[in-house]
Structure 1
Amino acid sequence: MEGGATGKKVVVVGGGVAGAFLAKSMQFVADVTLIDPKEYFEIPWASLRSMVEPSFSERTLIKHTDYFTNGRVVTSPAINITEKEVLTAEGRSVLYDYLVIATGHVDSTPQSRKDRIAQYEQDNQKIKASNSVLIIGGGPTGVELAGEIAVDYPEKKITVVHKGSRLLEFIGQKASDKTMDWLTSRKVEVLLNQTINLDSVSESEKIYTTSTGENISADCHFICVGKPIGSSWLQESILKDCLNKKGSLMVDENLRVRGKKNIFAIGDITDVPEIKQGFLAQKHASVVVKNLKLLIKGAKESKLSKYKPASAMAIVSLGRKEGVAQLPFMTMIGCIPGIIKSKDLFVGKTRKQLGLDPGTA
């Protein structure tokens, strides 16, 4: 490996959106090591399309070594950190001058790209073989999955059970209402203010009982609820006092972990007060790239870039051609948000940003 010109060691823990973009951007500036439990980066906002079209995942699952060509990849979970090193589950110790933590949310996906593609094929077979599908969770993941199945398999009976009083609670009421209208117009049944106790589920009987006692008959189910923050590995580390009650890492305006001069945190693991979204994780990465370059050059602290939390803005795709968008000044549903996001789910654009051919795997 050709080390960066400076020889400074930068270790990135987590190969999701934030970590992948940072590692790629820093690979010719410093001696970079990327630590991730998986051998690949996955474009997360495209994962639900892969469940209805498994071949789509060929473009959305990218081996770390395809975009990160001038550094080391350690395929193992990180389990602890000290003031100088990151320790991995396989027993490795990786020294750092600068550390960037980007472990996002916990996701138990397979280690190999091949196994992840196989997982999507299994999900697709499950959907194809079912006349009725239950989706548990009415946030962006549940809504997008319902939209994908409703458009590709309009003959299937889809039920969404959501514990909240409205869909897509992370954005405004108007977007929630428009989404509800879109789903019901496609015969998707939405049950609000209800939960399902998954411990009591008997898939063989194919009957699911909600918290209000309602019985739902479904051939299969998908769980689309929030995942825990990926910070449990830090709870006994030198950063244990930098975690807030929710498990997020507290950061300053430069995205450095509070009280630490050479440790940054980016993406979903941070306590930055904004919606946790992929494109914002990329913005975090770009700010920290600037700051790492400045620090490596020996610039003054006062020169460091500051990150300003973003206002609520989101596009949720509804199948292949439509979507719902909450923008700073308006909310819209239909083909325009669909043209922006739903056709390709920004996959070509993201591949291009990683220096890859946008159209082929």
Structure 2
Amino acid sequence: MCLLISMAAAAESAGEKKRVVVIGGGVAGSVVAKSLQFCADVVLIDEKEYFEIPWGSLRAMVEPSFAERSVINHSDYLPNVRIVASAAANITEREVLTTDGHLLVYEYLVIATGHKEAVPKTRAERLSHYEAEFVKINSAKSVLIVGGGPTGVELAGEIATDFPEKKVILVHRGSRLLEFIGLKASQKALDWLISKKVEVILDETINLNTISDPIIQTPSGEIITADCHFVCTGKPTGSSWLKGTTVQNNLDMQGRLMVDENLRVRGHKNIFAVGDITNIKEIKQGYLAQRHAEVTAKNLKLLLMGGNESKMATYKPGLDIALVSLGRNEGVAQFPLLTISGCIPGMIKSGDLYVGKTRKHLGLKP
């Protein structure tokens, strides 16, 4: 039987800070935890011991030293937060149980588990991972990328820019790249990749269960030769563990949590959800997840001080704005009335990939 380690043993007496438990240490959960760490007893539950700036991950594959800035131990920016390096297993209206047996009582809960992804637990292991990925790319003459969403397109751009002599093949099952944005932006990205001699194969699939370098055959019979490959298909929403919990009836058909305008899970006054796990109708972008976190932190500060719920901040879905980097100097940007590509979007995002800005937001040196 699992031994329950009660972290409520230091039970709150009168005058002690109320506890806020944040599940998930990604772009949204990290902001909530940082914002509340000096006005509440904050506990962050995360499977890994670090926060990774996600938009820097692909650059780290071609420049491993980049990860020194984009992979940050939670303890570096959360000095007043208790870190529980584990996955959450169950929640009730007042408690969270983790897979390693921690039981935490809370006054307020924030669910920020985003998408499910298997990653190393420690920062050192994550840095070693990028070193290994770089060696794999550097030693290959040809690289296959499976998936033409933002991750696949940006990785193709990074490799084509830093290793122009390598053959890069991008296979996508859809009829166009970047299907989450408009046709014009999609075409501009395709044109850029072709100009960099990336071979783009659309309307084609790869059987991920049988994929094996260097000879890969598609279901249609096409033969692709590549020394190594990277799978950049979509990741499942990190909500499967919520089935059977107190919020199970608040999951929509896509496995996202239904929230109200204050970002509370519907029907639960003390449970909030932020980031990609929410059902908010908007493009799932990191900067919007950060906005969710800012609104939620503001509302929690109000509630922690005993404020009136009627004064809680509301969240308005973001506009359909998207920026996709294309190598180190260029990109494609979609705005409501304008789509542009080239060096201007590159100046906005592609150079430092917002890593310095994000570090500064966390109170760290850029």
TM range (shorter): over 0.9
Partner of 2:110: 100
Partner of 1:51: 61
Partner of 1:207: 215
Give the Cα separation in 2 of the matches to 1:242 and 1:176: 34
Q: Does 1:337 align with 2:345?
A: yes
Partner of 2:228: 220
How do 1:182-261 residues align onto structure 2 when only pairs under 5 Å count?
Answer: 182-203=192-213, 206-261=214-269
Which of 298, 311, 317 is 1:303 aligned to?
311
Which of 151, 163, 186 is 1:141 aligned to?
151
Q: What is the TM-score of this pair, normalised by structure 1?
A: 0.96
Which of 328, 349, 356 is 2:357 aligned to?
349
C-alpha displacement of 1:223: 0.3
Query: Equivalent residue of 1:198, what SS?
Result: coil
C-alpha displacement of 1:212: 2.1
Question: C-alpha deviations, 1:119-162, integer Å up to 9, x for none?
Answer: 00111000011100000000000000000000000000000000
C-alpha displacement of 1:202: 2.7
Partner of 1:167: 177
Question: C-alpha deviations, 1:269-305, integer Å up to 9, x for none?
Answer: 0001111111001000000011101111222221111
Q: Does 1:34 align with 2:82?
A: no
Q: Does 1:321 align with 2:324?
A: no
The one-letter amino acid paired with 1:252 is D
Query: Equivalent residue of 2:209, what SS?
Result: helix
Q: Does 1:118 align with 2:132?
A: no
Query: Equivalent residue of 1:155, what SS?
Result: coil
Question: C-alpha deviations, 1:242-282, integer Å up to 9, x for none?
Answer: 11111101101100001000000000100011111110010
Give the Cα separation in 1 of the matches to 2:52 and 2:208: 27
Give the Cα separation in 2 of the matches to 1:143 and 1:279: 19
Partner of 1:20: 30
Give the Cα separation in 2 of the matches to 1:125 and 1:58: 17
Q: Does 1:156 align with 2:184?
A: no
Question: C-alpha deviations, 1:40-61, integer Å up to 9, x for none?
Answer: 0000011000000000000000
The one-letter amino acid paired with 2:88 is A
* Matched residues, number: 354
C-alpha displacement of 1:211: 3.0
CA contact (8 A) 1:18 1:282 kept: yes
Query: Equivalent residue of 1:160, what SS?
Result: strand
Partner of 2:273: 265
**How much identity, in percent, do the aligned residues show?**
63
Query: Equivalent residue of 2:97, what SS?
Result: strand
C-alpha displacement of 1:90: 0.8
Partner of 2:82: 72
Query: Equivalent residue of 2:177, what SS?
Result: coil
Give the Cα separation in 1 of the matches to 2:90 and 2:145: 36
C-alpha displacement of 1:200: 2.1
Give the Cα separation in 1 of the matches to 2:34 and 2:16: 16
The one-letter amino acid paired with 1:354 is L
CA contact (8 A) 1:50 1:57 kept: yes
The one-letter amino acid paired with 2:169 is T
Structure 1's consecutive aligned runs of 4 or more residues displaced over 3 angstroms after TM superposition are none
C-alpha displacement of 1:214: 0.9
C-alpha displacement of 1:207: 1.2
The one-letter amino acid paired with 1:287 is V
CA contact (8 A) 1:134 1:220 kept: yes
C-alpha displacement of 1:6: 5.7
Question: C-alpha deviations, 1:90-110, integer Å up to 9, x for none?
Answer: 101011000000000001000
C-alpha displacement of 1:201: 2.0
CA contact (8 A) 1:6 1:29 kept: no
Query: Equivalent residue of 1:115, what SS?
Result: helix
Query: Could you list the runs of 5+ residues in structure 1 that have no partner in the other structure?
Result: none
Give the Cα separation in 2 of the matches to 1:316 and 1:213: 32
Query: Equivalent residue of 1:264, what SS?
Result: strand
